[in-house]
Amino acid sequence: MALKLRQFGVVLALISSLSVVTGEVVAADAEAEFKKAMAARNSGELDDSIVIFESILSQEPLLHRARLELAVAYYRATRFDEAEKNAKKVLADPKTPASVRVSIIAFLAKIKSERKRFEKVDSRSGVSVSAGYLYDTNVNVGPNSDIINLGTTTLRLGAGSKPQGDSAITLSGTFNYSYQTGKVLNMGGRSAAVLWQSQASVYSKQYEDLSEFNLDVVSLSTGLAFVAPGHWRSNVSLQVDNIELGSDSLAFYTTLLPSITWQLNKTTDLSVKASFADRDFKQRNDQGRNSFYKSVGLTLGKRYMKGKLSLQAGVSLFDENARDDRFSRDGAKVFLGANWQAWKNGLVYASVSQRDAKHDAPEPLFNEKRDEREQRFALGFRHQFSGSYFDKWVLKGSYSNTDNASNVDIFKYDREVTNVTFSRNF
C-alpha cells in the first residue's frame, strides 16, 4: 500500500514569504547557508537540509524564516512531531504577522491531516489470475552431450536422459490482503506506517507429453511492512511453499524474507534483501538434498527519462548446507536489467545474469566437486489493454536462454523457454 504526501504549494509559498513580510535581515554567511539548505531540501536531501537549518538556528534562534523552512523539511521527512514543534514556536511569537499566522495554522492542519492518514486503520484485498502457454527445449534439463566421461571410460546416455522439449499450459491465481494497522513507528528519524501483508497463490505447469515433469506450487506468506513515504520501506515475511513434481510431493520450503529499500533521491533506490530457507524434500531418494539455504543481495535501481527507462544492477551471495555434502554449495550471482516504457501501457525488458557455484563434495562416479557457472539472458514485453473488451487485461511475452557450464559433463546443459501469458487483477 503506497502512502504519498499531499501537495500544499500555496501554504508553503505563504510560509516562505515570511522574510518579506517581517523584513528579516539575514547575515551574508547565514543567507548562503540558508540557500544551501533550501537547495538540499528541493533536491530531496532532507537530512542534509535539516542539519543546515538546525545549524543556522543554533546561531540565530529567532530567525523564523529558517525555522519555518526547517518545519517544512521535517514535514517532508515525515517527522511530524518536529515539524509541529517548530511551526508552533513561530506561531507563539507575538511579533509574527497575522497573514503568516494564517499560513502556519493551515500548515499545522496539514500536519494533523497527514498524521491521521498514517494512523488510519484500513484494509485492501485483491485477486489476480493468469493463463499462459510455453515451450521448453529442455524440460528434463538433460546435458549438452549424450557422451559422458567417467575418468578413462565413457558412457552414452539413453534417450530419456537427453534434452527433451515440450509445450505446457500454465495457470496461476493469487489473493493479496493488506491491512494498515493505524500504528506509527519512528525509525531512523522517520515516521513509518505499519502494515500487515498476506498472500496466497497457486501455480500449475502442465506439459503436453512429459507429465512426469508437471509442476504444482502452493504458496502462503504473511508479515509486517513499514513505509516511510519518499524515504524507505521495509518488510519481513514468512513464506511456505508446497511443491509437487509430476504426481509426487517433491518438497516443502519454509522461508524468512527480510528486505529494506532506501530512496536515495527522486530517481535512485538501493535495496538489501535476504532469504533464509529450510528446504525439506519428501521423497526417500531426495533426503540428502534436505538443506538450509541463506542468501543476501544488494540491488541498485536508477530511473531516467521521467521514469520511462529504468536500470537495475545487483549482486548476491548464497550458501546452502545440505545433509549430503555433494548437494551443499556456495557462490555468488550478479545481474543487470532494464525496463523501457516503449509505448502507451506497454514496456519491454531485458536482463542478463551469471551465477557461480561450488559444491562441497565430489559427485559419485565422477570423483569431482561440481564447479558451475550459469549464464542467463531474458527478453520480454508487457502490454495492458484499455478501452476495449479486454480492458485491464495484461498480455506478457518472454524468451529466456540458460547456459550452464560445469566441470562435470552430466550437469552441462542449454535451455530455452518461450512463454506467453494473459492476466488480470481484480
> Which one-letter DSSP state was computed for residue 111?
H
Do 410 and 143 touch, CB atoms closer than 8 A?
Answer: yes
Q: Give me the pLDDT at residue 4, please.
A: 43
Q: Give me the pLDDT at residue 155, please.
A: 65
Q: Give me the pLDDT at residue 346, please.
A: 95
Question: Which residue type, as a one-letter code, is found at position 37?
Answer: A
Residue 108 falls in which region: left (phi positive, over 0), alpha (psi -120 to 50) or beta: alpha
How far is residue 132 CA from its own chain's centroid?
A: 24
Question: Which of helix, strand or coil describes residue 263?
Answer: strand
C-alpha cell recorded at residue 130:
493468469
C-alpha cell recorded at residue 155:
558412457
Q: Give me the pLDDT at residue 159, please.
A: 63
Q: Give me the pLDDT at residue 18, please.
A: 46
Name the percent of the chain in helix, strand, coil, to the closest 5: 25, 55, 20
Question: Which residue type, as a one-letter code, is found at position 286?
Answer: D
Do 397 and 365 touch, CB atoms closer than 8 A?
Answer: no
Domains of the chain, CATH where assigned? 9-119 (1.25.40.10), 122-425 (2.40.160.40)
| C-alpha–C-alpha distance, residues 348 and 346, integer Å | 7
Strand partners, 104: none
C-alpha cell recorded at residue 192:
513509518
Of 313, 250, 243, give the one whose Cα is nearest residue 284: 250
Residue 81 falls in which region: left (phi positive, over 0), alpha (psi -120 to 50) or beta: alpha
Could you tell me which residues come within 8 angstroms of residue 286 by beta carbon, excluding any fewer than 6 positions away?
Answer: 250, 251
The strand pair at 329-343 and 346-362 is best described as antiparallel
Do 329 and 360 touch, CB atoms closer than 8 A?
Answer: yes
- Other Cβ atoms closer than 10 A to 14: 19
Question: Which of helix, strand or coil describes residue 221?
Answer: strand
Strand partners, 48: none
One-character DSSP codes across 276-298: EEEEEE-SGGGGGG-EEEEEEEE
Q: Give me the pLDDT at residue 153, please.
A: 61
Q: What is the pLDDT along the chain (426 residues), one digit of tens a residue?
A: 444 444 444 445 545 544 444 445 456 677 888 888 888 888 777 888 899 999 988 888 888 888 999 999 888 887 888 899 999 998 898 888 888 888 889 889 988 888 877 777 889 999 999 999 999 999 998 887 766 666 656 666 666 678 899 999 999 999 999 999 988 877 766 778 899 999 999 999 999 999 999 999 999 999 999 988 878 899 999 999 999 999 899 999 999 999 999 998 889 999 999 999 999 999 999 999 999 999 999 999 999 998 899 999 999 999 999 999 999 999 999 999 999 999 999 999 999 999 999 999 998 888 889 999 999 999 999 999 998 788 999 999 999 999 999 998 889 999 999 999 999 999
